[in-house]
Amino acid sequence: MFRAKKHLDELIVTVNEYSNDAYLITRKDYSQKHRHVIRFEVKAMPYEIGMLAGEFAYCLRSGLDQLAWQLALLNTKHPRSETSFPIRRTVPATGPDRRFREATRDIPAAAISAIELLQPYQKPDPASKTHPLWLLNELCNIDKHMILPVRASEANVDVFAADIRRRRDTANGFELYFDITDKYKIQIPPIKVAVIFGAPAWLHSGFEMRLTHFTAIYDFVRDQVIPAFSPFF
């Protein structure tokens, strides 16, 4: 938990630094055309954001598997290699699947019941898709194969005290054109973008997370999962 919290804190700082300074804003006068142009360019997303998200997820996920191993040691000196903390969003009508049973075979029955109570499938759809453990599981599955895809959402850019004469889109942003006589009137409040984590677009999974979800995952493991098993030790 300590290492996960360290990665989470660093992730929050890095994301907020980018969110609050995601645009490069430059100005230029075109005197002959009587125009003042403001260019907004989106800065490249720091690669550290995706890496920190993956490191955070794996710290927590491996911690859950280590918890399962310690529970299995209560029953046997040699837990089987399949021993792990299963996470399922759905469950067959007949009960937990074979992989779930293999993962928990060496774990005491009372602890297995506690694991089952924490499963995302205990929540109805669509709530199970936003369950903290399911989000954690999806993060780890994506991060196994690539740096977690991260993007910035579109932000509202407000301009006050001057009329926009024209807007032109550019490769990495856009330009706003004003009368040159209005250049000192223009007011642009701070721009903040939201950083979104998700699956690659080609997967069409619709899986998306925001920074608040990472905190929710950590809080759930700390406040719900860990206390559920403290009576066993």
Least Cα distance to 58 among 233, 227, 226, 221 occurs for 221
CB 192, CB 20: distance < 8 Å: yes
**Distance from C-alpha of 229 to C-alpha of 233, rounded to nearest angstrom:** 8
Encode pLDDT of 131-183 as tens digits: 999 999 999 988 877 767 788 776 778 888 899 999 999 988 999 999 999 99
What pLDDT is stored for residue 222 in this prediction? 96
Q: Which residue has the higher pLDDT, 203 or 206?
A: 206
**Distance from C-alpha of 186 to C-alpha of 126, rounded to nearest angstrom:** 45
Domain-wise residue ranges, the chain = 2-232
Q: Count Cβ atoms below 10 Å from residue 107 Cβ, excluding itself.
A: 27
Encode pLDDT of 72-88 as tens digits: 999 999 999 999 999 99
What pLDDT is stored for residue 105 in this prediction? 96
Three-state secondary structure string covering 167-187: EEEECCEEEEEEEHHHCCCCE
Residue 204: pLDDT over 60 = no
What pLDDT is stored for residue 61 in this prediction? 95
**Distance from C-alpha of 45 to C-alpha of 32, rounded to nearest angstrom:** 37
Backbone angles phi, psi at 187, to 5 degrees: -120, 125
Encode pLDDT of 27-82 as tens digits: 999 999 999 999 999 999 898 999 999 999 999 999 999 999 999 999 999 999 99
What pLDDT is stored for residue 148 in this prediction? 74
Mean pLDDT score of the chain: 91
Roughly how many angstroms between the first and final C-alpha of the chain, as a whole number? 17
Q: Count Cβ atoms below 10 Å from residue 104 Cβ, excluding itself.
A: 23
What percentage of the chain carries pLDDT values higher than 70?
A: 96
**Whole-model pTM?**
0.86
For the chain, the 3-state helix, strand and coil shares in percent, each to the nearest 5, are 45, 15, 35
